[in-house]
Amino acid sequence: MAVGFVGGGTLSGRMARWGVAIVAAYALVAVLTPLLVHLAVLPDPNAGLANPIYASPSPMHWCGTDRLGRDVCVRTLSGASVALQVVLIALLIALAIGVPLGMVSGYLGGGVDRVLVVLMDTLYTLPVLLLSVVLAFLLGRGLPNAAAALCVVYVPQYFRVVRNQSAQVKSELFIEAARSLGAGPAWILRRYLFRSVITSVPVLLTLNAADAVLVLGGLGFLGLGLPEMIPEWGGDLQQALTALPTGIWWTAVYPGLAMFVLVLGLSFLGEGLEQWLSGQALRSD
């Protein structure tokens, strides 16, 4: 099934191939960069006092150095590890919270459903960046706090999708048959409903990852993300802003380009996956 998805000649196949290639490359960089820094193959992304400040790109520093003499190339590569780590933690926690709540709400209905819908709709109506900014301000800077801020933002999205599907699936014949044979709500949710609603989650997860990379960058740019010494693309862009008018372009271009390409790859992967799943559904009909 995965081979057909990645290897298709259609638009979804081509988008998926580009998306898989880009995301896989970033994942590889995210794994290898900390290891190479630990082995001293690459310099420490925070070690810069011995280097000239704002050195332009050269064989010694491929992407130049920043205002503290830190190697921009290493900080940009290290930023991939930080971004993927924060986004993955946040989305997996949001997934673990939003999917069960959506299943319970859609299946049980009644008062439980009404309370959860009102709560999640209230969170959903708030702009993503605004809500994450407020949460980051309240929680403070740091990797766990940034992940927590992103997590709360995306829980309502998983809840809404899964809740709507659960409300539709619970009236299907196989659910009615299981209920008539004495299966309890917990068994039905775990054994039948979960398999029916989980198919839509991968697309949402991929597209949310692209959005979360931008939101994390926005928090860093506003000074509400991770501490300054942690290599993070949004924070590095914020620090590069004052030097950009003087012609020092490299401190802003490389982190910005890294963020753009990752978001593009995740978007390609999500759109390709969505088109492929839609095609699979039409063929099954």
What residue segments make up the domains of the chain, in order of their start? 2-284
pLDDT > 60? residue 5:
no
Structure confidence by residue, pLDDT tens digits, 180-195:
777 777 887 877 788 8
pLDDT > 70? residue 283:
no
Full-model pTM: 0.86
What pLDDT was estimated at residue 119? 92
In the chain, what is the straight-line distance between the N-terminal and C-terminal CA atoms, in Å? 17
pLDDT > 90? residue 273:
no
Alpha carbon separation from 85 to 76, 91, 153, 178 (Å, rounded): 14, 10, 17, 40
Q: What's the average model confidence in pLDDT over 194-198?
A: 81
What's the CA gap between 10 and 234, in Å, rounded?
Answer: 35
Structure confidence by residue, pLDDT tens digits, 68-118:
889 999 999 999 999 999 999 999 999 999 999 999 998 888 888 899 999
Pick the CATH number of 2-284 from 1.10.10.10, 3.40.50.150, 3.40.50.720, 1.10.3720.10: 1.10.3720.10
Question: Is there a contact between 33 and 78 (Cβ–Cβ < 8 Å)?
Answer: yes
Closest to 263 in 3D by CA, of 206, 204, 181: 206
Give 29's contacts (C-beta < 8 A, 6+ positions apart): 77, 80, 81
Q: Of 180 and 29, which is predicted with more confidence?
A: 29
What is the SS3 assignment for 65?
A: strand
Length of the chain equals 285
Indicate the pLDDT class of residue 49, thresholds 50, 70 and 90.
low
What pLDDT was estimated at residue 94? 93
